[in-house]
Amino acid sequence: MIGSEIREMIEYYRRQGAPQDQQMIIALLREVQEAEGGVLAGYVIEAIAQAYGVKSAMLQAIIRRIPTLCCEDAPHRLEVCGTCKGGAKLRDYIERTYGVKSGGVSREAGFVYRVTPCMKNCKNGPSVRWDGTLYAGADEALILRLVKG
C-alpha cells in the first residue's frame, strides 16, 4: 500500500506528461526512490504501473537502464523507527550484524532496510515493521527471528 506522498507524486507527474513522456517517468522514479529511502520497492513500482495503465515490466526496464535507480530485489522489508527510545541501539545492531545502512539491501539476509520517521507507537518502542507488520518492544532476538523466518 502506497502512502499519500507517493500518490501525490504520481498525480503531479501525470499532469507533467507521464506516462507518455519517459523523462517524466524517470523523474518520478527518482523522486519516489528518494522518498522511499533509496530503494524502489516492488509494490511501489506495481502501484505506479497500475496508476498509469502500463506494465510493471516497462518500469523495470527503465530502472535497469538508469544506473542511479535501485530496485528492491530482496523478499522482505525491515523498517525501524528513527525516533523510538532504545531504537539507536537496535539500529546499530542491525547495521553491524547485517552490514546495511538505511536505504540499503542486505542481500545475504534478504531484506531492504530503512530507518523511518516516528511510527506513532512511542510508549511501546522501539518499534519495527517487517513486511508491513508492526512489532512493538523490538529487540535483537526479534530481529533475528524475523530474518531467519
Strand order from edge to edge, sheet including 104-106: 104-106, 111-116, 76-81, 128-130, 133-135
| Residue 74 confidence (pLDDT) | 63
Mark which of 65, 87, 118 sits at the end of a domain: 65
Where do we find the cell 539500529?
91
The per-residue b/e assignment along 49-71, b for 16 or more CB within 10 angstroms, e otherwise, is bebbeeeeeebbeebeeeeebbb
More confident residue, 5 or 106: 5
Q: Within this chain, do residues 51 and 83 fall inside the same structural domain, yes or no?
A: no
Q: Which domain holds residue 20?
A: 4-65
Task: Note the pLDDT of residue 105.
Answer: 76
List the grid coordinates of 104. Answer: 540499503
Do the domain assignments include residue 61?
A: yes
Contacts of 139 (CB under 8 A, 6+ apart): 90, 126
d(CA 63, CA 26): 8
On whether the pTM is more than 0.75, the answer is no
Mean pLDDT computed over 126-141: 92
Same domain, 105 and 56: no
Smallest CA-to-CA distance from 129 within 67, 50, 76, 64 is with 76
Do 82 and 138 fall within a single domain?
yes
Grade residue 144 by pLDDT with cuts at 50, 70 and 90: very high
When mean pLDDT is compared over 41-50, 60-69, 70-79, 90-99, the highest value belongs to 90-99
pLDDT digits (tens, 9 = 90+) for 6-38: 999 999 999 999 999 999 999 999 999 888 777
pLDDT at 72: 66
